[in-house]
Amino acid sequence: MGSRQADIVKSRSENASERSREAALREEQEYVSRVYERLDTERDQAERTLREGPATRGGGSVLQARLERAVATDEAARRLDGLTGVERGLCFGRIDHAAGGDGRPGDTFYIGRIGLRDDDREPLLIDWRATAARPFYTATPTSPGTLARRRHLHLRLREVVRIDDEVFDLDGLSAADQSTIVGEAALLATLRRGRTGRMSDVVATIQAEQDRVIRAGLPGVLVVQGGPGTGKTVAALHRAAYLLYTHRDVLERRGVLVVGPNATFMRYIEQVLPGLGETDVALATVGELFPGVHATAAETPEVAVLKGGLRMAGLVGAAVADRQRVPDGGLEVVSDGMTLRVDRERLLKIRDRARELRAPHNVQRRLFVHDVLDALALDRAEQFDRMTDEPLEQILSSGSVPEWLQELLEEAEDQPLMDETDLRMAKEALWQEAPVREAIDELWPELTPQRLLAELFADREALAKVGAEAGLTSAEQAALHRPSSREWTVSDVPLLDEAAELLGALDDAAERARRRAAERERDSEERYAREVIQSTGIETLGIPEIDQVDARELAERHVEDALDLAERQHDRGLRLTTAQRAAADREWAYGHVIVDEAQELSEMAWRTVMRRVPTRSLTVVGDIAQTGNPAGARSWGAMLDRYVPGRWREQRLMVNYRTPAAIMRVAADVLVRVAPDQIPPEPVRDDGPPPAVLRIAADELGGELPRLVESELAEIGAGRAGEGRLAVVASAARHAAVRAALPDAEAGATPEALDSQVVVLTTEESKGLEFDSVIVVDPAGIVAGSPRGGQDLYVAITRATRRLTIVHEGVLPDILRTRMAGDPRQSPPSGPSGA
Ligand SMILES: Nc1ncnc2c1ncn2[C@@H]1O[C@H](COP(=O)(O)OP(=O)(O)OP(=O)(O)O)[C@@H](O)[C@H]1O
């Protein structure tokens, strides 16, 4: 065929494919418009139900009508919440199953963020979490299952703007093309988008290895280990949504908790779940796990290691025991001019009897107070008795008393000093006296966790005594000392939680009333707990500690009265979600807990997390190679075997969706040095320039850094459509100089930082985040500051999605030298001193 003829054929076939593309777009637009119409209708219906209440069916009692209303409004509120966040990209995929052997066409399904049905209850949109949607995520050219085609739909608002098709026609593909990447075109288009400072969901392009994580079963502990950018966070969040969809009966009432490393990170991920139609997941940092405390301050590495270690459980235990005192001289208190005494031996017995009560300190205290008051009342009675006894003896022995009176008096002498009523009244009277209360408080005070720890840390003497009992050296005891006014740190929170366990609730009347009410609910809760155990499948796993867990413990302790709920929900402003109720309650037992950046949790933090989930249904997400917390994990087994010995399972994610290959090669060099046993994840992206290295002296940062930032912002096209983010990640030593050089940039882990184009961060603050361009300042300082030599540099380098620049002062650290030497981009755009 001549070339002109070939051109004509090519252009005809291009025209034909253009026409069929337009026809396909039109067809999909029609369908997608129907789907949005349905969404609008459902939203209207839910809003009407909330506004006007459900249509009444008539008949039944008033109570029944109220209950029905309660259930319907609750459902409507939830539905509306779910329908509100899913507008963007509501329908993103379509799967066509191959024709069956009988020649009938295969089924076609549209996949979206939520499920929708038409008026005839026929499925219009399949929820991405439903089983029917699964082939969309798992089909690859090598194993397409029954799929003939997968189609990705790209929407701008409600308009279909592009279609990507994958036809699973293996014969037409070379072996090399039979990639395992699912929906490559759609995936790469997503990955190349500029960053906005907020994570978005990846529901349209979930990969097969991530799908296995997302859809893993609910029971037990699943560890997801993966290098940077492998989508651990995003997969964990999709997993939360999947579990809520699949196990709604259990999880809606007990809730799902996501624990993350810091407040900025939580803000970074917060829109993912609403985008998936889920609004009822509690998000918290470790510093927020103790209700009423929002700790963000960090300790020095030495104190963080100390406070993160398990000896702290012993320290807190010893601190509580130290507040149950028996003075050498016993108890002496002046009441009504009379000195009342309880001797040491008696007090020891009273203390031991209280301690034997298997209850927390504040509950044991009630028995202690009761017994001490007994002893004081008795002492007072005995003293009175002695006072009256002597004159009486004299009268009796004088022989001047008539016989009948003598008998009466002798009889009275044999009677007990006080009957029950006398004793109770005497004790109540004593308890009203301030000196008596103060004296008892000295021996066994009522304590909050905050008071216990603040007083302990401020008291060198107590620290020395209690510290020695917990096996702390004198240097460690001294390191814990601090003024009681100091704010709580993140490392303190697990200690507060530990203390709360040992202290129990305060003994106020309201608390007792609450507990009595809770007691009344116990029966139904126990029944519920059993259902929970059955439905999570834990029973069938035969996990021993579950058998030991009291069913009551497992029960959701806060079953809301349906009528209350209805009335509150009618006024939606007051509606409390499961997540909100759970977050306010330290003893809430969640149905599932997801821990992200889990390598950062200390041993003590794990104790706190495990208390929140007695069923041990957890997803633990992290990367051992990125551990920056000196008290964090060196291996998963070291942290988890204590709670689920040998029974946690691990899934690895091996593909890096964030960092382009050229940057990843530098990161891999660093990884070899810091964690030689870890394999770096394979990058999907092969775009973008190689990383640049610049030598800028510390005193030149003020002049050079702003120019570098400007030119990088131009490179990433920052500002267009709100996209384009740059981070300067500096060593602790250069942080202040960098901030001074970039006075207009946001700094630190604040929510505002995410909204700004340029942010200055420490490596710790950059954890979990990503930016189009990253400038790493002072790699040598970062390596020197990493507790295990280099992890922090690995984290900093792998934050970049497009461009990486390394700014150093003297000689480039060894760890970077191989790869960076002779790099073409060694000179900065404005040309300061080259490397
Ligand atoms: N299947 C996917 N489709 C599209 N984007 C994805 C996919 N998986 C991951 N990504 C993107 O890759 C980036 C990295 O994901 P994520 O932050 O979850 O990784 P990570 O493993 O938690 O990383 P790190 O350990 O470094 O914090 C994010 O921008 C995320 O949206």
Binned at pLDDT 50, 70 and 90, residue 551 comes out as very low
Give the DSSP H or E segment for 98.
none
- Higher pLDDT residue, 187 or 410? 187
Binned at pLDDT 50, 70 and 90, residue 59 comes out as low
Query: What is the rounded distance in angstroms from the CA atom of residue 347 to the CA atom of residue 633?
Result: 45
The best mutation among 266, 270, 657 to test binding of ligand 1, ranked by most ligand atoms within 8 Å of the C-beta, falls on 657
Residue with tokens 């459509």: 721
Query: What's the helix, strand, coil split of the chain in %, to 5?
Result: 50, 15, 35
**Among the listed ranges 45-54, 79-88, 303-312, 389-398, which one has the minimum average pLDDT value?**
389-398
Would the CB of 791 count as within 6 Å of ligand 1? Answer: no
Would the CB of 622 count as within 6 Å of ligand 1? Answer: no
Q: What is the mean pLDDT of residues 532-556?
A: 41
Binned at pLDDT 50, 70 and 90, residue 41 comes out as very high
The mean of the pLDDT values for the chain is 84
- Whether the pLDDT of residue 60 is over 80: the answer is no
CA 655 → CA 659, 672, 774, distances in Å?
A: 10, 18, 21
Tell me which residue has its CA closest to atom 23 in ligand 1: 229
For residue 737 the two structure tokens come to: 């100089």
pLDDT in tens, 599-618: 999 999 999 999 999 999 99
Query: What is the rounded distance in angstroms from the CA atom of residue 726 to the CA atom of residue 195?
Result: 9
According to the model, what pLDDT value does residue 688 have? 87
Residue with tokens 């998000």: 283
Asked whether residue 831 is marked as a ligand-binding residue, the answer is no
pLDDT in tens, 302-342: 999 999 999 999 999 999 999 999 999 999 999 888 999 99
Residues with Cβ within 8 Å of residue 133, at least 6 apart in sequence: 95, 109, 111, 126, 127
**Among the listed ranges 412-421, 433-442, 507-516, 534-543, which one has the minimum average pLDDT value?**
534-543
Query: What is the rounded distance in angstroms from the CA atom of residue 758 to the CA atom of residue 500?
Result: 42
Q: What is the mean pLDDT of residues 760-777?
A: 93
Atom of ligand 1 nearest to the CA of 199: 31
- Higher pLDDT residue, 544 or 713? 713
Q: 405 CA distance to ligand 1 centroid (A)? A: 96
Binned at pLDDT 50, 70 and 90, residue 546 comes out as very low
- Sequence length of the chain is 835
Would the CB of 233 count as within 6 Å of ligand 1? Answer: yes
Q: What is the mean pLDDT of residues 4-15?
A: 54
- Whether the pLDDT of residue 414 is over 60: the answer is yes
Q: 195 CA distance to ligand 1 centroid (A)? A: 12
- Whether the pLDDT of residue 179 is over 90: the answer is no
According to the model, what pLDDT value does residue 521 have? 57
Cα-Cα-Cα-Cα dihedral sign, residues 39, 44, 45, 49: positive
- Whether the pLDDT of residue 144 is over 60: the answer is yes
**Among the listed ranges 316-330, 549-563, 773-787, which one has the minimum average pLDDT value?**
549-563
Asked whether residue 231 is marked as a ligand-binding residue, the answer is yes
Would the CB of 630 count as within 6 Å of ligand 1? Answer: no
Would the CB of 586 count as within 6 Å of ligand 1? Answer: no
Cα-Cα-Cα-Cα dihedral sign, residues 435, 437, 439, 442: negative
Binned at pLDDT 50, 70 and 90, residue 516 comes out as low
- Whether the pLDDT of residue 562 is over 80: the answer is no
- Whether the pLDDT of residue 178 is over 50: the answer is no
pLDDT in tens, 69-88: 767 777 778 788 888 889 99
- Whether the pLDDT of residue 523 is over 70: the answer is no
- Whether the pLDDT of residue 540 is over 90: the answer is no
Would the CB of 205 count as within 6 Å of ligand 1? Answer: yes
Query: What is the rounded distance in angstroms from the CA atom of residue 254 to the CA atom of residue 244?
Result: 11
Would the CB of 230 count as within 6 Å of ligand 1? Answer: yes
Q: 416 CA distance to ligand 1 centroid (A)? A: 78
According to the model, what pLDDT value does residue 67 have? 66
Would the CB of 798 count as within 6 Å of ligand 1? Answer: yes
Q: 725 CA distance to ligand 1 centroid (A)? A: 16
- Whether the pLDDT of residue 153 is over 80: the answer is yes
Q: In sequence order, which ranges of 298-419 are alpha helices (DSSP H)?
A: 301-308, 311-322, 344-356, 361-398, 403-414
The pTM for the full model equals: 0.82
The three-class DSSP label of residue 809 is coil
According to the model, what pLDDT value does residue 573 have? 41
According to the model, what pLDDT value does residue 91 have? 96
**Among the listed ranges 9-23, 426-440, 517-531, 783-797, which one has the minimum average pLDDT value?**
517-531
Query: What is the rounded distance in angstroms from the CA atom of residue 362 to the CA atom of residue 448?
Result: 9
Atom of ligand 1 nearest to the CA of 621: 22
Query: What is the rounded distance in angstroms from the CA atom of residue 123 to the CA atom of residue 115?
Result: 8
- Higher pLDDT residue, 532 or 226? 226
According to the model, what pLDDT value does residue 337 have? 85
Could you tell me if 233 and 258 are in contact, meaning their C-beta atoms sit under 8 angstroms apart?
Answer: no
- Higher pLDDT residue, 789 or 623? 623
- Residue 803: closest CA among 658, 702, 684: 658
Q: What is the mean pLDDT of residues 353-382?
A: 94
Could you tell me if 236 and 596 are in contact, meaning their C-beta atoms sit under 8 angstroms apart?
Answer: yes
According to the model, what pLDDT value does residue 224 have? 97
pLDDT in tens, 633-651: 999 999 999 999 988 999 9
CA 155 → CA 18, 187, 489, distances in Å?
A: 19, 15, 45
- Higher pLDDT residue, 297 or 51? 297
According to the model, what pLDDT value does residue 507 have? 66
Could you tell me if 372 and 340 are in contact, meaning their C-beta atoms sit under 8 angstroms apart?
Answer: no
Q: What is the mean pLDDT of residues 156-174?
A: 77
Would the CB of 770 count as within 6 Å of ligand 1? Answer: yes
Would the CB of 195 count as within 6 Å of ligand 1? Answer: no
Q: 209 CA distance to ligand 1 centroid (A)? A: 13
**Among the listed ranges 245-249, 272-276, 523-527, 691-695, which one has the minimum average pLDDT value?**
523-527
**Can you tell me the ipTM of this complex?**
0.99
CA angle 135, 136, 137 (to 5 degrees): 85
Side by side, the strands of the sheet bearing 123-127 are 116-117, 123-127, 108-112, 91-97, 147-156, 159-167
- Whether the pLDDT of residue 376 is over 90: the answer is yes
pLDDT in tens, 248-281: 888 888 899 999 988 888 888 988 998 888 877 8
- Residue 232: closest CA among 261, 252, 196, 192: 261
Tell me which residue has its CA closest to atom 26 in ligand 1: 228
Asked whether residue 292 is marked as a ligand-binding residue, the answer is no
For residue 138 the two structure tokens come to: 């798992």
- Whether the pLDDT of residue 556 is over 60: the answer is no
Q: 20 CA distance to ligand 1 centroid (A)? A: 34
Q: 23 CA distance to ligand 1 centroid (A)? A: 34
Give the DSSP H or E segment for 151.
strand 147-156
